[in-house]
Amino acid sequence: MESTVAGSLDRGEAVVLITGAARRVGARIARELHGAGARIAVHYRHSADEAEALCAELNAHRPGSAAPFQADLLDIDSLPAMVAACVGHFGRLDGLVNNASSFFPTPVGDITASAWDDLIGSNLKAPLFLAQAAAPALRASGGAIVNIVDIHAERPLRGYPVYSIAKAGLYGLTRSLAIELAPGIRVNGVSPGAIVWPEDDQFPPAERERIVEQSLMKRIGSPEDIAGAVRFLLFDAPYVTGQVLAVDGGRSVHL
């Protein structure tokens, strides 16, 4: 495929693959980019019903503008096939958003090999191998990658060492891929602070209050905040690559 120099994506033509797009922040990113004119490849692992519903919602606005793609991101060998299916369906690929992530505590003394494989696999290994699989199509379109990192990539979260290690790796991967894939593909990251609380109540009320107090904005963020940052980096930042944008209400100033 012919190579081109990366720039801003064409909103009316762009196809963006978003991992973990069926729910929560991933679904908000999908809606945001779709609203900007992109066609959306909705990746999911287990959330088939939510993925189908989201695609139906998006296709009701623009027929044929969204499709679901199932894959277990821990199965590295399956990732090229998912990329090929996406390109086969839409005819191109312009953007990749590595959003899918496992998040759970791993206090030292209780760390297991399976926890390591899950956290490193979803947060670091899968983004690398998915970017590698997508690179030929992205290079042909002058595309871009956005990785969803975390402010704890630089400031480890107590009780979550493996998660923090994985996100630190993703931070480094973002900058490394920017070097390796330039000038044909831009690669950037977004580092969220507290955006939505974990569904399994990992943070008790007192901890949530402490986190909010650390924010200069005195509140948590919203999925819209992350989606807007992703949209900017994909569509409005043609001369930005190798950067990781913190979207944390100023919380990292105190950490």
- DSSP letter at 146? E
- Is the Cβ–Cβ distance between 62 and 88 less than 8 Å? no
44 is catalytic: no
* Burial class (CB within 10 angstroms; exposed 0-12, middle 13-18, buried 19+) of 15: buried
Would you give the end-to-end CA distance of the chain in angstroms?
A: 45
- DSSP letter at 150? -
Catalytic residue among 44, 160, 163, 171: 163
Count other Cβ atoms within 10 Å, centred on residue 190. 27
H helical segments located in the chain = 24-35, 48-61, 79-90, 113-120, 126-141, 161-181, 205-214, 223-235
Helix (H, G, I), strand (E, B) or coil at 78: helix
Peptide bond into 105 cis (omega under 30): no
Count other Cβ atoms within 10 Å, centred on residue 167. 28
* Three-point CA angle 13, 17, 20, nearest 5°: 145
Residues identified as active-site: 163
